[in-house]
């Protein structure tokens, strides 16, 4: 079968199934056809760094890479760097210096998933790429990424957007944008004023000032966040996004994929692909052991893999099979799988 390249291609799956390697090989395969490709990983383990020999200094920066004379760009997601790019693009330097925003954009600060969506959208808006391949966090962390869309929606609910619009209109008419304590006291509900009062009791006046400034600068950068929210529709679109749910023939991994599909069903459209990695059928077909025990092992492995494939094809519309690569060098895995992807080119 053939796979049509789309603007966004998302790789998800549980840990240890070769998700990052397959995402990298897919990106290389597309780049080999002349497409402008950006490969982004938001996996905190950053296995992509090891695969492509990227340096620690490259984290958060779009970095040109070349494998077997195939060129593409790679980005190891860094919330801090995304904040800096947003501050530059939306001319809000305080976004990168405010201490509340800094806390929220730390690795476990709560904004990582939201900022990942913002980063993907900003890179696509740059017009530099034909396709963005996204390597997501493993397992439950992938679901956190999807829920980042919900977090944006909750934060910018309609009443909050209306409040921002009101404040923007009022202050724009005065020829400047002010979002200080005076406006908060006049406009924002008593509930938030009460919260600020409690905060002032347990913190300091500078914290309250930073908190108010954080709300102000997030408002000034709201277009970036709201574009991240709009990205949801594109990722759900059959014409704009390919979803690859990666698993392997290893014990128990396939069931984890079925469970992930169930959790992600509201995001993943129906014509997604299951990628079954580390298949042994091809290697076993050329293996003819004379020892009875080895022959029994071959029969058992062969039977188990065929039963697994039959079962998965009942749960997934399309199953793509990728072989186990017998090499200790990670880059050899990438190159071999890149060649396999070429068999799925239209």
Q: SS in 3 state form for 114-158?
A: HHHHHHHHHHHHCCCCCEEEEECCCCHHHHHHHHHHHHHHHHCCH
- pTM for the complete prediction? 0.81
For the segment 18-48, what is each residue's pLDDT rounded down to a tens digit? Answer: 999 999 999 999 999 999 999 999 876 678 8
List beta partners, residue 132.
8, 38
**Residue 247 confidence (pLDDT):** 92
Q: Which has more pLDDT, 34 or 225?
A: 34
What's 8-153+232-344's CATH class?
Answer: alpha beta
Determine contact, residues 278/324, Cβ cutoff 8 Å. yes
pLDDT-wise least confident of 30-39, 180-189, 266-275: 180-189
Rounded mean pLDDT, 282-291: 82
Cα–Cα dist 146/28, whole Å: 25
Cα–Cα dist 266/154, whole Å: 17
Determine contact, residues 12/141, Cβ cutoff 8 Å. no
CATH 3.40.50.300 spans which residues of the chain?
Answer: 8-153+232-344
**Residue 138 confidence (pLDDT):** 80
List beta partners, residue 67.
70
Determine contact, residues 273/320, Cβ cutoff 8 Å. yes
**Residue 11 confidence (pLDDT):** 93
**Residue 186 confidence (pLDDT):** 47
Q: How confident is the model at residue 109 (pLDDT cuts 50, 70, 90)?
A: low
Q: How confident is the model at residue 340 (pLDDT cuts 50, 70, 90)?
A: very high
Q: What are 318's two structure tokens?
A: 């399309």
**Residue 170 confidence (pLDDT):** 45
Q: Which has more pLDDT, 31 or 114?
A: 31
If we measure between CA atoms, which residue out of 60, 38, 35 comes closest to residue 49? 60
Report, in angstroms and rounded to the nearest whole number, the Rg of the chain calculated over CA atoms. 24
Q: What are 230's two structure tokens?
A: 């709009």
What DSSP letter does each residue of 65-130 carry, written as one string? Answer: EEETTEEEEEEE--HHHHHHHHHHHTT-THHHH-HHHHHHTSTTSS-HHHHHHHHHHHHHHTT--S
Predicted confidence (pLDDT) at residue 64 exceeds the cutoff of 90: yes
Predicted confidence (pLDDT) at residue 229 exceeds the cutoff of 80: no
Distance of CA 310 to the CA centre of its chain: 30
**Residue 234 confidence (pLDDT):** 86
For 321, phi then psi, to 5°, come to -105, 130
Cα–Cα dist 253/257, whole Å: 7
């Amino acid at each position: 079968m053939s796979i049509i390249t789309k603007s966004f291609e998302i790789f998800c799956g549980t840990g240890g199934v070769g998700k990052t390697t397959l995402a990298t090989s897919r990106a290389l395969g597309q780049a080999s056809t002349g497409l402008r490709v950006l490969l982004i990983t938001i996996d905190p383990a950053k296995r992509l760094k090891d695969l492509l020999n990227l340096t620690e200094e490259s984290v958060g920066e779009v970095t040109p890479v070349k494998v077997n004379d195939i060129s593409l760009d790679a980005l190891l997601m860094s919330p801090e760097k995304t904040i800096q790019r947003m501050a530059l693009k939306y001319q809000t330097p305080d976004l990168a210096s405010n201490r509340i925003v800094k806390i929220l954009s730390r690795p476990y600060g709560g904004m990582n998933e939201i900022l990942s969506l913002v980063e993907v959208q900003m890179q696509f808006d740059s017009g530099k790429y034909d396709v963005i391949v996204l390597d997501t966090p493993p397992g439950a962390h992938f679901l956190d990424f999807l829920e980042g869309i919900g977090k944006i929606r909750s934060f910018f609910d309609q009443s909050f957007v209306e409040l921002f619009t009101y404040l923007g209109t009022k202050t724009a008419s005065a020829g400047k944008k002010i979002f200080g304590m005076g406006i908060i006291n006049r406009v924002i509900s008593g509930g938030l004023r009460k919260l600020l009062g409690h905060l002032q009791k347990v913190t300091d006046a500078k914290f309250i000032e930073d908190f108010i400034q954080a709300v102000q600068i997030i408002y000034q950068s709201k277009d970036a966040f709201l574009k991240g929210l709009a990205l949801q529709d594109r990722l759900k679109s059959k014409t704009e996004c390919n979803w690859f749910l990666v698993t392997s023939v290893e014990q128990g991994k396939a069931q984890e994929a079925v469970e992930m599909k169930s959790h992600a069903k509201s995001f993943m459209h129906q014509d997604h692909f299951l990628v079954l990695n580390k298949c042994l059928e091809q290697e076993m077909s050329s293996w003819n052991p004379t020892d009875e025990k080895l022959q029994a092992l071959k029969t058992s492995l062969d039977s188990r893999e065929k039963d697994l494939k039959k079962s998965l094809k009942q749960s997934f519309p399309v199953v793509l099979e990728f072989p186990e690569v017998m090499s200790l060098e990670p880059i050899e895995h990438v190159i071999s799988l890149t060649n396999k992807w070429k068999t799925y080119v239209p």
